[in-house]
Chain A
């Protein structure tokens, strides 16, 4: 499934330009080191962390997009960094567990 279709289906709010990549899996973590060690290219990264190092890790792993949970605000430099790296960032009022449920229901395994 493509990022744009998934975002529409589960009601994600774009915080950046949407770069329409294939979503091939999901990785949920609030630890940058965990993302670098265990996430895979194409994963949708779901996290409560909204700082620049999340984008640095997402770019290194080549995640399909990033979802920031609980409507955490993104600093302007984080948005610019994500757009430069062509990584779409979305926000959602849901927490990580609720987001995981929605993703499963949308067919992402």
Chain B
């Protein structure tokens, strides 16, 4: 442990390398995403029940982690996390971009925590976990006055973004 990391309260633990898989049901076009901690993405079509047929659409190399509070020893799992979306990667006429610009004027960088989703929508991330993410990433900053603000997806971005906008590794094999 370095002197710098020893001075921090929160640390990333149980870092799991893997893939974010996005799949779509052939008839209803419902979409869902999930994380798999495997060495290769599972590109497999499969039937679920009598009529549903799920087909993989995209895969991105990424990681998941848990957060440990070194003061209490508590480890909080973040299995629902799909990735963080920087406001500047969104459309300029979107609400998140406009809020991000306001925050930027105060030296605050706005990120949205995107979670995995099932057919009914994204997994919710409770406020206590959002606070923990903010503590974790703000502790790592060095520039004086700089802040990061991570918010839950109150904007419904999971419906409109492509997963390539999230800070994970889509298209890694394409080096164009």
Q: Which of A's residues lie within 8 Å of B, judged by CB?
A: 21-22, 24, 30-34, 36-37, 40-42, 48, 52-53, 55-57, 59-62, 81, 84-86
Does A56 contact B89, Cβ atoms closer than 8 Å? yes
Contact A81 B63, CB 8 Å, known A30-B172, A40-B4: no
Q: What's the dominant secondary structure at chain A's contact region?
A: helix
Which residues from chain B contact A48 at a C-beta distance below 8 Å? 175
Assuming the contacts A36-B167, A52-B89, asked whether A59 and B61 have C-beta atoms less than 8 A apart, the reply is: no
| A52 touching B168, Cβ below 8 Å | no
Contact sample, A vs B, 5 pairs, CB 8 Å cutoff: A31-B169, A33-B62, A37-B12, A52-B86, A56-B86
Interface pairs A-B: 8 shortest CB-CB: A56-B86, A41-B142, A56-B167, A33-B62, A62-B141, A33-B63, A53-B167, A42-B142
Q: How far is the CA of A62 from the CA of B143 in the complex (A)?
A: 7
What is the number of residues of chain B that contact chain A, defined by CB distance less than 8 Å? 30
- The reply to whether A31 and B61 form a contact with Cβ atoms under 8 Å apart is yes
CA distance A21 to B143 in the complex (A): 8
